[in-house]
Structure 1
Amino acid sequence: MTSLPLAILHEQPDDRAAIDRLQERAFGPGRYARSAYRLREGVAPLPKLSFVARVGTFLVGSNRMTPIRIGRTPALLLGPLVVDPAFRSRGIGQALINASIAAAESAGHRLVLLVGDEPYYARLGFQRVPDGRVVMPGPVDPDRVLWRRLAPDADSEARGLVWKTF
């Protein structure tokens, strides 16, 4: 069997339909009720920080970054990170996150927030937000609210309600 090369590329407008189909397969219709999805509604992901993974001509993964605020502190919301089930456990998710984080650091962003599994994201530099620091706009398990500083002390004033920016 021939292995196909993995390419991590900036998301393009033409990728939207394939990303939507991939998210539907991976997360189902219930994804729209999640707090993180509510923060993304009506807010376009930042194109320079959002990436897709392709194996040959097939789009097999996607990660987006959306601007948010934590209280008055600007931040980014990572995700949704999605990898086609047939291509999971091959480092594609990690490659997508690394591309987004590197682009965010280069662009001068300071803090990234996500809702996800700490054991997976901790190896990428994310840690649990201290109890009571962040209030999500809807139910969410506080153990799954994680952030990563992209600059020293980037989280020092980040506290309060997480809200979307337009």
Structure 2
Amino acid sequence: MFARAPFFADLPAPTPAVRLRAETAADEAAREALLDAAMGPNRRRKSSEAIRRDRLPAEGLSLVAESDAGELLGTVRLWNVAAGARSGEPVPALLLGPLVVSSCCEGLGIGSALMRRAVAESRWRGHAAIVLVGDAPFYERFGFGADMAADLVMPGPFERHRLLGLALRDGALAGAAGLIVPTGLPASRALAA
């Protein structure tokens, strides 16, 4: 990977050349290994996972960061959801997550680059809003805030202060209240295709 011999320990680690690209089916094993290493064995028990389970990510919104040697260094996916309802109608949005960067590359800006690209791609594809469960100090720099998701809830336990929202269009989350539920295509559709 990017290990250094002890006698070079005082030198800064070289930053790997990184390329952001769309995820492909060939990335699955490396992505799953990266997620397991970063999030541990209980990652599939999270409330966000209940929304993602047996669903396909939103079209064109599965991204990876790859080294110039072809090593997967980071991943982010977005999922179609209804962010509660407004006036009885579901509020279309995306659920972002998980965002993970390899421990060998933490602090190099890969997570931020993936976030900027994910938000830009979402906006370019015409989506109105994004919600996520994460650390506010990191996500606030991309425009996310707890106030936008104040009246939304996740299925199962979650930490209220970590539920954040971002309106990609003015007012997209205004008045949205209730349970965040999946609306994306079932994963079984991929098998049938």
Report the TM-score, using the length of structure 2 for normalisation: 0.82
Partner residue of 1:61? 74
Match of residue 156 from structure 2: 138
The whole-number CA distance in structure 2 between the counterparts of 1:10 and 1:145 is 26
State whether residues 149 and 163 of structure 2, in contact with CA within 8 Å, keep that contact through their aligned partners in structure 1: no
Q: 1:25 — aligned with what?
A: 37
What are the superposed Cα offsets for residues 55-106 of structure 1, whole Å, 9 maximum, x if unpaired?
1211000000011111210110001000000101111001111111111101
Query: Would you say 1:52 and 2:82 are equivalent positions?
Result: no
Q: What letter matches 2:151 in structure 1?
A: R
Say whether the 8 Å CA contact 1:118–1:126 is kept in structure 2.
Answer: yes
Cross-structure match for 2:172: 154
Q: Does 1:126 align with 2:144?
A: yes
Rounded Cα–Cα distance in structure 1 between residues aligned with 2:15 and 2:152: 43
CA contact (8 A) 2:80 2:94 kept: yes
- The number of residues matched between the two structures is 166
Question: Equivalents in 1 of 2:61, 2:175: separation in Å?
Answer: 24
**Structure 2 unaligned runs (5+)?**
1-12, 85-89, 186-193
Query: Unmatched 5+ residue regions in structure 1?
Result: none
Q: Secondary structure at the match of 2:176?
A: coil
Alignment of 1:86-97 (within 5 A): 86-97=104-115
User: Within 2, Cα distance between the matches of 1:64 and 1:37?
Assistant: 12
Cα distance in 2 for partners of 1:55, 1:12 equals 15
Work out the CA distance in 1 between the residues paired with 2:179 and 2:59.
Answer: 25
CA-CA distance at 1:47 after TM superposition: 4.2
Q: Is the 8 A contact 2:148 2:174 kept in 1?
A: no
Superposition CA RMSD, Å: 1.5
Contact 2:147 2:164 in 1 (8 A): yes
Check conservation: 1:114, 1:147, Cα contact below 8 A.
Answer: yes
Bigger mean CA offset, 72-81 vs 45-54:
45-54
Q: 1:12 aligns with which of 18, 24, 32?
A: 24
- Distance in 1 of aligned mates of 2:139 and 2:154: 19
Output the amino acid matched with 2:48: A
